[in-house]
């Protein structure tokens, strides 16, 4: 089995592999880049919550603090891949992305902590986009043909989202009250809690 320190710089990690790494108690840091509310709903035991906007803002500091044994997780893998790209741009190019996200890890028998159930952000985006498309089609039929432009705008936005691997709707939904936790992570509470990389000269002693 390939260890985190020798794996390729860009590497998708299977849930079963992460389970074995955690069981072997390797020097591994699992960072969950979902919102604090999603993290509260369910997260991998021992993982740290650093939401994607916070990670992006402090990517340079994170890259300097963490070693190569980093696994990034989210709900499906999309946000974790965005985080990996941001971290690679800051100099940490050996992070892994968990395929299938936290639900996939739980389905594979991984140990998770469960809290109050909430819909994941990706699911909320699908609901909002689908509802707006149906609203545009219904409005175009019963109110005015111009309302159909709403459906076209949503379709264009989804196409742009796929092409750029970004999601403006997801970012907007993440700011809604129901997607906020009682205590939102900050640089001090999220980033400074992470274990700092030990200098190589000290590890050789």
**pTM value > 0.85:** no
Q: What is the rounded average pLDDT of the residues 32-55?
A: 93
Q: Assign residue 90 a region: left if phi > 0, alpha if psi is -120 to 50, beta otherwise? A: alpha
**What percent of the chain has a predicted confidence (pLDDT) above 70?**
83
Tokens representing residue 181 in the block? 């936790």
Q: Sorting pLDDT into bands at 50, 70 and 90, what band is 1?
A: very low
Residues 71-116: pLDDT tens digits?
A: 999 998 989 999 999 999 998 888 999 999 999 999 999 999 998 7
pLDDT at residue 204, as a whole number: 46
How far apart, in Å, are the Cα atoms of 176 and each of 33, 69, 96, 170, 172? Answer: 17, 33, 29, 10, 7
pLDDT at position 173: 74
- pLDDT score of 200: 52
Task: List Cβ neighbours of 38 (8 Å cut-off, separation of 6 or more).
Answer: 75, 118, 120, 121, 179
Lowest-confidence segment of 49-53, 118-122, 197-201 by average pLDDT: 197-201
Distance from first CA to last CA of the chain, Å, rounded? 27
In tens, the pLDDT along 126-153 reads: 888 888 888 888 888 878 888 788 888 8
Contact between 116 and 181 (Cβ < 8 Å)? no
The token pair that represents 196 in the structure block: 């700092």
Q: How far apart are CA 205 and CA 196, in angstroms?
A: 18
CA distances from 120 to 10, 102, 116 (A): 25, 11, 12
Other beta carbons less than 10 A from residue 41's beta carbon? 20
Average pLDDT of the chain to the nearest whole number: 82
Q: What is the CA radius of gyration of the chain?
A: 19
Nearest Cα to Cα of residue 191 among 29, 81, 74: 29
């Amino acid at each position: 089995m390939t260890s985190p320190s020798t794996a390729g710089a860009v590497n998708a990690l299977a849930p079963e592999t992460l389970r074995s790494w955690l069981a072997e108690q390797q020097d591994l840091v699992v960072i969950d880049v979902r919102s604090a509310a999603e993290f509260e709903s369910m997260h991998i035991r021992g993982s740290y919550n650093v939401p994607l906007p916070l990670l992006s803002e402090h990517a340079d500091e994170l890259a300097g603090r963490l070693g190569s044994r980093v696994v990034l997780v989210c709900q499906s893998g999309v946000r974790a891949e965005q985080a990996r790209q941001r971290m690679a741009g800051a100099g940490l190019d050996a992070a892994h992305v968990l395929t299938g996200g936290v639900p996939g890890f739980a389905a594979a028998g991984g140990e998770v902590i469960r809290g109050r159930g909430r819909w994941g952000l990706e699911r909320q985006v699908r609901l909002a986009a689908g509802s707006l498309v149906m609203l545009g089609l219904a409005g175009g039929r019963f109110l005015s043909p111009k309302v159909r432009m709403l459906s076209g705008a949503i379709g264009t936005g989804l196409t742009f989202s796929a092409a750029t691997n970004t999601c403006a709707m997801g970012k907007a939904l993440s700011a809604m009250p129901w997607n906020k936790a009682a205590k939102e992570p900050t640089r001090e509470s999220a980033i400074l809690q992470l274990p700092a990389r030990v200098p190589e000269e000290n590890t050789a002693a």
